[in-house]
């Protein structure tokens, strides 16, 4: 089981961290050494970038697009 830590999903994102200010939190996380696996991208549903936690699990940092 220990060999699967950080790879429970075969390298796919399965965790999501929602923010109300993507730029602020992305910069803060970069400043603290968080490893982003891609540049921020703009999708129809919002702004998102994939990052890895200390164990290699992949997360989406996401700011959903506001409705209205």
Q: What would the pLDDT profile of 36-56 be if each residue is shown by its tens digit? A: 999 999 999 999 999 999 988
What is the pTM assigned to this prediction? 0.83
Select the CATH number that applies to the domain covering 2-64 from these four: 3.10.180.10, 2.40.50.150, 3.90.1310.10, 3.40.50.2030: 3.10.180.10
Please report, for the chain, the start and end positions of each structural domain, with discontinuous segments joined by +: 2-64
The string of pLDDT tens digits covering residues 9-46 is 677 898 999 999 999 999 999 999 999 999 999 999 99
Rounded to the nearest 10 degrees, how much is the dihedral formed by the CA atoms of 48, 33, 56, 19?
Answer: -30
pLDDT at 43: 96
- Provide the 10 A C-beta neighbour count for residue 37: 12
Please report which helix (H) or strand (E) contains residue 30, including its range: helix 22-31
């Amino acid at each position: 089981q220990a060999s699967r830590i950080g790879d429970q999903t075969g390298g796919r994102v399965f965790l999501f961290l929602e923010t109300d200010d993507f730029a602020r939190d992305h910069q803060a996380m970069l400043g603290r050494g968080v490893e982003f696996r891609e540049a921020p991208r703009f999708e129809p549903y919002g702004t998102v970038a994939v990052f890895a936690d200390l164990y290699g699990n992949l997360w989406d940092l996401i700011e959903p697009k506001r409705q209205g």
